[in-house]
Amino acid sequence: MSTDTQDTLQKFIFDNAAVRGEFVEISTTWREIQQHHNYPDAVKTVLGEMVAAAALLSANLKFNGAIIMQIHGDGPVRLLVVECDSELRLRATAKIRDGAEIADGSGLTALLNQSGKGRFVITLDPIDKMPGQQPYQGIVPLDGDDMATVIENYMLRSEQLDTRLWLAADPGISRGLLLQKLPRHSGKEDQVAQKSEAEDLETWNRAVMLASTLKQPELLSTDIQTLMNRLFWEETIRVFEPAHPQFHCSCTREKVGNMLKMLGRDEVEGALDELGQLAINCDFCGKHYAFDKVDCAQLFVGNSPVDVLIPASDVKH
């Protein structure tokens, strides 16, 4: 099979039941995400799973904007960030603590939650915000030993939605399956609504049972179409037009400038005295930004508001 197959997100719904699903398969985008980094394999696994999860959750965003998932870790990994917008444009990065040693096969807890102080942050950031509207942000403890469980617990707690995820990633591919039991609407015309809750629950339990036969090695090595046939061949399923995740970095010179402004004039001038100019590489895409003395002086002219959600990168000293 060709290695440059398009990345795909495939939504489907169980006929006549309020149960929906999505498969995602991210390969080209996943490799672009890792292009400027040399993460240990264990970090690739966790970050790759988070990438698949972000795509699965964003495919259901009810606004035009982005979902930003962050894990602030207390172990060798300090931070994982994945952003995905409503058009399934993705970027992601990991920050590892200086000098940290990471053993192969280290899982989520060993990497990010050694003392139980890891935090999972989800931000929903609409593009067209009302004046003064802040992005929605939910912060919860890292509740679970793997990425799928953490997100399932988050969804249950924050959205009151039964959601199950199966995630797997290696350096070459990131794949995931999401099942979700939808709340029932009371519309009478709706064919879906005519079936009883009990029947929904039956379909839900059966779908989860079938999907739970899926082990990570199989998920890693099998394409979406084959997985769909293998798991749900006895089910009546409606499949939607596939969508295609892709890599996109939203960094701009202006955002990097804002980040420098947030550091403050003293910090920036101190670094300039030492280095002559500031060189900043975007953590997500590797793009290089340079700010000399004149550029920096301009940053601190006037008092334009600063609006940066996540620092794009660290200043390199």
Distance of CA 48 to CAs 155, 171, 252, 275, Å? 19, 8, 25, 36
Binding-site member from 96, 231, 249, 268 for Zn ion (CB under 5 A): 249
Q: Which stretch binds Zn ion (CB under 5 A): 11-19, 214-222, 256-264, 280-288?
A: 280-288
Length in residues, the chain? 317
Q: Which stretch binds Zn ion (CB under 5 A): 131-139, 191-199, 275-283, 289-297?
A: 275-283
Binding-site member from 285, 296, 299, 315 for Zn ion (CB under 5 A): 285
Burial 108-123, CB ≥16 within 10 A → b, else e: bbbbbbeeeebebbbb
The helix/strand/coil state of 282 is coil
Q: Report yes or no: 93 and 284 within 8 Å, Cβ to Cβ.
A: yes
Decide if residue 24 touches Zn ion (CB under 5 A). Answer: no
Q: Which stretch binds Zn ion (CB under 5 A): 12-20, 162-170, 262-270, 282-290?
A: 282-290
Decide if residue 256 touches Zn ion (CB under 5 A). Answer: no
Q: Which stretch binds Zn ion (CB under 5 A): 65-73, 170-178, 251-259, 263-271?
A: 251-259
Choice between 166 and 284, CB closer to Zn ion: 284
The C-alpha angle 213, 217, 87, rounded to 5 degrees, equals 90
Choice between 287 and 293, CB closer to Zn ion: 287
- Please identify which residue in the block is written with the tokens 């399932």: 152
Binding-site member from 90, 142, 251, 280 for Zn ion (CB under 5 A): 251
Pairing of strands 89-96, 246-247: parallel
Nearest to 120 by CA among 155, 89, 90, 84: 155
Q: Which stretch binds Zn ion (CB under 5 A): 73-81, 155-163, 279-287, 302-310?
A: 279-287
Q: Report yes or no: 155 and 163 within 8 Å, Cβ to Cβ.
A: yes
Choice between 84 and 102, CB closer to Zn ion: 84
Choice between 178 and 280, CB closer to Zn ion: 280
Measure the CA–CA gap between 97 and 94, rounded to whole angstroms: 10
Closest separation in Å from C-beta 97 to Zn ion: 22
Decide if residue 282 touches Zn ion (CB under 5 A). Answer: yes
Decide if residue 195 touches Zn ion (CB under 5 A). Answer: no
- Please identify which residue in the block is written with the tokens 């807890």: 109
Choice between 37 and 287, CB closer to Zn ion: 287
Closest separation in Å from C-beta 282 to Zn ion: 3
- Please identify which residue in the block is written with the tokens 């039964």: 162
Decide if residue 284 touches Zn ion (CB under 5 A). Answer: yes
Choice between 25 and 283, CB closer to Zn ion: 283
Q: First vs last Cα of the chain: how many Å apart?
A: 45
The helix/strand/coil state of 4 is coil
Binding-site member from 214, 287, 297, 311 for Zn ion (CB under 5 A): 287
> To which H or E segment does residue 1 belong?
none
Residues forming the site for Zn ion (CB under 5 A) = 249, 251, 282, 284-285, 287
